[in-house]
Structure 1
Amino acid sequence: MTLSIIIPCYNAEKLIQKCVESILVQKGFDFELILVNDGATDKTLEVLENLAQTDERIKVINQENKGLSGARNSGIEQAQGKYIMFVDADDWLESNAFNIVSKNFNNEDLFCFSYNRVFDNKITPRDLKIEGSFDANFIQRRMVGLIGKELSDPSQADSLVTVWGKIYKSDFIKKNNIQFVETKIYGNEDALFNIQYLEFASNSKVLNLPLYNYRKNNYLSYTNHYKPYLFQQWKMLYQKISEIITNKEDEFKVAFGNRIALSLIGLGINETYSNLPFSAKIKKIAIVLHDDLYIKAYQNLEMKYFPMHWKLFFYLAKSKNALGVLSLSYIMNFLIKK
């Protein structure tokens, strides 16, 4: 098996070395490592070129800035492997990751494994709550949204949608022209990419073991900053997902509505990063709570599976209590970082 590992790099001069070294020591798969310098303004390109001199498996692509999606697409175009894997430049793999994956991988259309969330003062393994072999349709529904007892842990809503921690079949991506959206109108390009990919997959496997380290404390990364247009971006994302699942079974529709409702958690936490006055943040949350799409989602949201604190959060949402929702968002963000 040949694996193409694609790493987008933007102003990653201080972190990319650790990332690359964590991959070069891997045993279990033959691989090529594609490093995409996405118009970095620091010494990232110099670091990448120096790394390429040390190992013939490394290929460097230098391009003007196209963003995370554009960098990943450039890597896909150059990928020669039968399979493709994505890694972010500020993250790294456990030293035995490929060895463990190779012993569990059976040429599935999609292979997923778990990860650690690395904060300033702690590392928290992500328990995906599922493991084993699954029909691709089930994993696609799970990525669209949670249903039933899955709602007992709303933090799982996007736990599986990342494109890192996955192994994809290269020909599925290329033959079906599956690409990352090179604009920021959708807000969660990973989820969209995976949901589209799974339209063409038959089987999948999930290994609930943290083999990837996701750095949550890097403020120079593509994703770790306040997103002023996140609400509008996610509404565009929902429109695209809605188009994909139009002819799917009813549980997809339920899962989709639940995704919309649970997204208030992310919207609330996003506002805690804003430099706007507190009153302006409340107004932004109020706009979400009075949006017809969200009102419908809350009306159909099953509350019985939630722990008490989440019941309170979504009761405040249904009551359109923007102050309460924002206040709890601050508390949640504090507890996450603690």
Structure 2
Amino acid sequence: MSSKELQMEYDHYNYLNNEKWKFNLPIYKKSSSTKVFDTPKVSVIIANYNNEPYLEKMFNSLVNQSIGLEKLQILFIDDKSTDNSAKIVQKYIQKYNSIEFYQLTKNTGGAHGPRNVGLINARGKYLVFLDADDWYDENALQYMSETLEKSSDDMGFFGIVQSVNEKLSLKSRAYFFDGNKIDRDIQELPAAFYEWLGPQGIMVRRKLIENNNLHFPSQRVADDVTFFYEAMRFSKKITQGEKLTTYLNRDNDNLSLSKTVNRDFMISWLRALGYINQVFPDDASKEKFLSRRLEWLVYNFGLRRDVGYKFSLKRIIDFKVSMDRYLGKLKFDPTIYFRTGARKTVWRYLLLEDYRGIIRFNRWHSLRHLLKKYLGIVRREKNQYYYPVLNSKIPKIEINMKAVAIKRMENQVVIQIYTNGIFNYFEIRNKLRPFERSKLMVTQMSLTDYKINIPLEIDLRDYEFWVIYNDYQDQKIERIEKLLSE
């Protein structure tokens, strides 16, 4: 694809820094609470399409915020839902202040249109973006805004938990694991920071958005990550807060969502990465961002068989050709930031254009993964575990970490760790409240063996034990519950 053709494509999807996006906004009708405030502290932008089952939980988390409704502007933008979303919103408008309801007259097919309507109408000093099926901790907006208020930064990142059928787990650990920080240079952020960049847990000063004409490109996927990465680049430094703020709803994940990972999904992501690569200078931040996103795409289109773009030789060739079209030849090696050996191997095959090699590797690796997952079959060499070796012609792939409890001695447990990474510490987490976490006392006994102290004053049935190692990766300790119950 020529440079001119790329520019035309970026222009078509409203990537470019011009005013065009403002003139292409969806048409809407607006209704509001009886009382709204001219100068709110925080504007909450919510894009919705058919999220009726989750709206009451989401709205309840907003109207009960400790910051108070008089400091909020709640912009609910509905993308012409076909369910009863409107009835629920009207119920809250009649009962509470500060809610503005924007009803689009046509469906835009993604969150970008509603979010851009929110940007144009926002009045708050700070902006947050909440998906309509997610919800906030009751102190979230007060904590986020007060934390940014104390810093000179234009952008803040805060703690997230993921909810899958009411089971909670930590999400985007790089946002909060380092504790409270201000003026953190984005060039110094770890690669793990770029895994997420979704709307959850992020607050931005409105002036940053307006001064840099930031907006969401007109495509269904990658619009939010593009927006927030651009915001980071213009912010240059960020604030981080260690407290829980946001609950990310993932009840509808798994098979239904995996089918949306199709060819349009692939092209949209590559278009976004190509634009970022074109606009911003070569530096550490861009390398890490592109690398983590490319690793994710390699996983989806080089290894996965359960997505909406059927695994085949055609898919692999299309993926490589499309990468070349949008990104050209990269000036760095992204695999230094890849987390798994399997993804590094697929990348090497792609560079060699050995597409049938990927087919062979994928077949063998899928089988090895199943042997490990369901039968526990692994191979150990010295201080490292590997997936089962089934064919000497297929590259040997390390397992990132294996942590196993092997012996209990009163209030101590011996843990064996085998990893190609760097061990940091052991952690205990509350199963129902995973942000309740603390480090455990540890003694290293040998290269692989560690002895940890177990806090017997708590009900251990309510807790999980984890190993934290480099790049914010974690691993649940195997067999420890069995030892502690004996």
- TM-score band by shorter chain is 0.7 to 0.9
CA distance in 1, matches of 2:169, 2:233: 32
Q: What is the CA distance between 1:8 and its match in structure 2? A: 0.8
Is the Cα contact below 8 Å between 1:282 and 1:326 reproduced in 2? no
Is the Cα contact below 8 Å between 2:194 and 2:289 reproduced in 1? no
CA distance in 1, matches of 2:364, 2:78: 40
Is the Cα contact below 8 Å between 2:187 and 2:283 reproduced in 1? no
1:312-323 superposed matches below 5 A? 312-319=342-349, 320=355, 321-322=358-359
| 1:82 aligns with one of 107, 125, 128 | 125
Q: What is the CA distance between 1:87 and its match in structure 2? A: 0.3
Note if 1:92 corresponds to 2:126. Answer: no
CA distance in 1, matches of 2:146, 2:338: 37
Is the Cα contact below 8 Å between 1:157 and 1:259 reproduced in 2? yes
Moved more, 310-319 or 21-30: 310-319
Note if 1:179 corresponds to 2:215. Answer: yes
CA distance in 1, matches of 2:249, 2:364: 26
| 1:139-195 superposed Cα distances (whole Å, 9 cap, x missing partner) | 7xx5xxx6xxx4xx6xx5422x112211111122123321111234xx311221122
| 1:229-266 superposed Cα distances (whole Å, 9 cap, x missing partner) | 22211221122101221xx3542453355245413124
CA distance in 2, matches of 1:261, 1:267: 10
Q: What is the CA distance between 1:296 and its match in structure 2? A: 5.2
Amino acid at match of 1:47: I
Residue 241 of structure 1 is matched in structure 2 by 276
Is the Cα contact below 8 Å between 1:313 and 1:328 reproduced in 2? no
CA distance in 1, matches of 2:261, 2:55: 24
Note if 1:27 corresponds to 2:66. Answer: yes
Structure 2 unaligned residues grouped into runs of 5+: 1-39, 350-354, 375-486
Over 3 Å counting, the alpha-carbon distance change for 1:195 and 1:233 in structure 2 is same
Note if 1:124 corresponds to 2:173. Answer: no
What is the number of equivalent residue pairs in this alignment? 311
Structure with more of its chain in helix, by fraction: 1
- Normalising by structure 2, we get a TM-score of 0.56
Amino acid at match of 2:123: Q
Residue 225 of structure 2 is matched in structure 1 by 191
Two-structure CA RMSD over aligned residues (Å): 3.5
Any idea what SS the aligned residue of 2:53 has? coil
Residue 206 of structure 1 is matched in structure 2 by 240
CA distance in 1, matches of 2:338, 2:268: 27
Any idea what SS the aligned residue of 2:117 has? helix
Is the Cα contact below 8 Å between 2:162 and 2:170 reproduced in 1? yes
Is the Cα contact below 8 Å between 1:125 and 1:210 reproduced in 2? no
CA distance in 2, matches of 1:326, 1:213: 37
Q: What is the CA distance between 1:297 and its match in structure 2? A: 5.6
Note if 1:284 corresponds to 2:315. Answer: yes
Q: Which has the higher contact order (CA 8 A, sep 6+)?
A: 1
| Larger gyration radius, structure 1 or structure 2 | 2
Q: What is the CA distance between 1:203 and its match in structure 2? A: 3.3
Any idea what SS the aligned residue of 1:214 has? strand
Residue 40 of structure 1 is matched in structure 2 by 81
Note if 1:217 corresponds to 2:266. Answer: no
Note if 1:65 corresponds to 2:107. Answer: yes
CA distance in 2, matches of 1:73, 1:270: 33
